[in-house]
Amino acid sequence: MAILPIVTVPDPLLKKVSKPVDKVDDKLRKFMDNMLETMYDAPGIGLAAVQVGKLLRILVIDIAPDDEDPNPQYFINPEITWTSEDLATYNEGCLSIPEQYADIERPAECKVTYLDYNGDAQEIHATELLATCIQHEMDHLNGVVFIDYLSKIKRSMYVRKVKKFIKDGAEEKKE
């Protein structure tokens, strides 16, 4: 397995719409293994393929608490088929917007159809953190990140902070 470089804002790639996967094969599974490894290493609870530079409709998610066994979930070509009228707010973060967080309101529950790691069709009814996480990651597939829900002023402040965070990190490595 390999750790892949993570794309961060304001990279224009993050604004692109990802394409459906047409075949779930060993090559794709290897890529998904690498996505998962990259997400665990970051560490994060969700990652979309575009965040590691591939415009494919794939998500990996693991919301298991730290003191429980890992529970990786793979979503290929996910489609939201239903969302609840009830909303929920979570303080969201994103590996493409490191160290920045904001309260984002979304439907509290959703139903999603997708292909799993083996390419088999699945459907789930997601609630709580999983519902939020799936919707956040699915936004990535459509070129949307959570700061797009904020005001223009806040958004540019977040992007500035990320640029500084990346620059400071690069300077630390040089020393």
Q: Which residues are annotated as catalytic?
A: 137
Binding residue for Ni ion (CB under 5 A) from 94, 108, 115, 138? 94
To Ni ion, the closest distance from the beta carbon of 4 in angstroms equals 15
Residue from 48, 75, 74, 56 nearest 140 by CA: 48
Enumerate the β-bridge partners of residue 92. 102
Residue 12 or 69: which CB sits closer to Ni ion? 12
161 sits in which H/E element: helix 152-174
- Among 22-30, 90-98, 113-121, 161-169, the segment contacting Ni ion (CB under 5 A): 90-98
> Binding to Ni ion by residue 134, rule CB under 5 A?
no
Distance of alpha carbon 74 from alpha carbon 119, whole angstroms: 10
Residues 6+ apart with CB under 8 A from 168: none
Residue 94 or 131: which CB sits closer to Ni ion? 94
To Ni ion, the closest distance from the beta carbon of 96 in angstroms equals 5
Residue nearest to Ni ion (CB): 94
DSSP 8-state class, residue 49:
G
Residue 43 or 118: which CB sits closer to Ni ion? 43
Distance of alpha carbon 143 from alpha carbon 163, whole angstroms: 19
Neighbours of 170 (CB within 10 A): 9
Contacting positions for Ni ion (CB under 5 A): 94
